[in-house]
A and B are shown apart, each in its own frame.
Chain A
Amino acid sequence: MSRTVVKATVNGEPVEFLGGGGQSLLDALRDELRLTGSKEGCGTGDCGACSVIVDGRLVCACLMLAPEAEGKRIETIEGLADGSNLHPLQHQFLEHAALQCGFCTPGLLMASKALLDRNPDPTETEVRYWLAGNMCRCTGYDKIVRAVMDAAADLRQEKPR
């Protein structure tokens, strides 16, 4: 009985997979659903490379058990672009060269999306604190922060409030 069928919604699509109490949501996404965009940097909540949004809340997929996903709405990096149209965050990350190796990028994009979903006009300080749980060993963070600020401005123009 240690693995049971888990039904959830991932990026708007209903999915079913086998999940047990010894398996993280990250393992289920990567190994059962073959959604390998979310990365495992540490497996202990420290790096944020596995960040996904569950029922509107940003969490580390490595610190959630796969069966906890039952009935939940999960957003991963695979659902961020609209077909071949990049999300403004993705576009600005490219514009600013806010990535080098790219390992941290899916997590940073999902964390930034969660921020802009609830705060369309964050200050630089708010961006830096919100992203404090996302490690990047390449860029030095500054380009990332600038990309998020500019994406926020783009999104505000798209739908004026």
Chain B
Amino acid sequence: MSGVDYLSPGTVADAVSALRAAGGSARLMAGGTDLLVQMRGGRAKPKVVIDLKGIPGLSGIRLEGGGFIVGAATPGAVLGEHEALKAAWPGVIEAANLIGSTQVQGRASLGGNLCNASPAADSVPALIAAGVVCLIEGPGGKRELPVEKVQTGPGKTALAVDEILVAFRFPAKAAQSSDAYLRMIPRTEMDIAVVGAGVSVSLDASGVCTAARVGIGAVAPTTLLVEAAGAALVGSEFDDAALAKLEAAVAAACRPISDKRGTAEYRTKVASVLARRAALIARDRASA
């Protein structure tokens, strides 16, 4: 790891130029909790590390248009201390705060969790369920991409080598709506999801579901939006028939591998159970 340059640009434009100048030998860093582990293990060998945390807009949370703009490099601990964000999107925050230990929370960001592109990234199914959109900047200007379109394979994203994920836009929250995230690990802390499921729901005044989104993790090469699972809830009062449809839709979307952490069959079963439970938690939160 010797001979690596460290840059801390003050603007997105400077960071983009530094990325271009390095021609593929640079890596962006937010909290570094994935990148520095990979550098140490020899899996990442950048000549330049570009620290994003010094760029205004990459760190911090602000209100905009009734929703939130969350800087891509904001650490999990800061997200968890933001009462308004936590009240609006408890599922995203519980997912973000599951990442690693207290120490890791002091550094780990949503942008890093998404762009590291692990299918088991905890915050990503919750961000997908919440309908969050990525604000991206590159040499060609700005563009937007829904979170579910970012991961394209293990370790791969839809971002070009000279593009930067600047922030996440959380939509304005509808009345009587909420979200939840659940993950399965063999212990309660410090482990990688065997399965993760995030659900967001909106209800009408009589408790009927008017909109729902379901995101799942660790059951395919990327995290997934399962549109059919959300659709299964719409128009229902979360009765057993609707929940059974949701479970079937989730199971149908799963394409997991079998490994030491769980067989494909087990992961598929657990994904549908977690999605059902998360849907009921989101419903209870929405009607509270």
Contact = CB atoms under 8 A, between A and B. Distances in A.
Contact of A20 (B6, B39, B189): B6
A72 to B, nearest CB: 11
B1 A23 contact: yes
Contacts of B102: 58, 111, 114-115, 130-133
B165 to A, nearest CB: 20
Given A129-B189, A132-B189, A132-B190, A65 B6 contact: yes
Contacts, number: 100
B23 to A, nearest CB: 17
B11 interface: no
Interface residues of A, number: 36
B3 interface: yes
Given A2-B2, A21-B6, A133 B104 contact: yes
B175 interface: no
A60 interface: yes
A45 B6 contact: no
B32 A65 contact: yes
A115 B51 CA distance: 27
Given A44-B40, A46-B190, A63-B37, A22 B103 contact: no
A2 B47 CA distance: 9
Contacts of B37: 44-45, 63
Nearest to A60: B103
Contact of B3 (A20, A43, A44, A63): A20
Contacts of A20: 2-6
Give the one of A44, A45, A60, A115 with max B CB within 10 A: A45
A133 B2 contact: no
A68 B256 CA distance: 39
B190 A59 contact: no
Secondary structure at the A interface, as helix, strand, loop or mixed, is mixed
B72 to A, nearest CB: 17
A67 interface: yes
A132 B5 contact: no
Given A48-B101, A133-B101, A133-B102, A22 B32 contact: no
B107 A63 contact: yes
Interface in B82-114: 100-104, 106-107
B32 A132 contact: no
A156 interface: no
B101 to A, nearest CB: 2
A92 interface: no
19 contacts: A4-B6, A21-B5, A21-B6, A54-B106, A57-B106, A58-B103, A58-B106, A62-B36, A63-B32, A63-B37, A63-B103, A65-B6, A65-B49, A67-B8, A68-B8, A111-B102, A132-B189, A133-B100, A133-B189
Interface of B: 1-8, 29, 31-33, 36-37, 39-41, 48-49, 51, 53, 75, 77, 100-104, 106-107, 188-190
A-B interface, 6 closest residue pairs, ranked by CB to CB distance from nearest: A133-B101, A21-B6, A21-B4, A22-B4, A22-B1, A132-B189
Given A60-B104, A63-B31, A63-B104, 10 more contacts: A20-B4, A21-B5, A24-B36, A43-B40, A45-B36, A45-B100, A63-B103, A67-B8, A133-B101, A133-B190
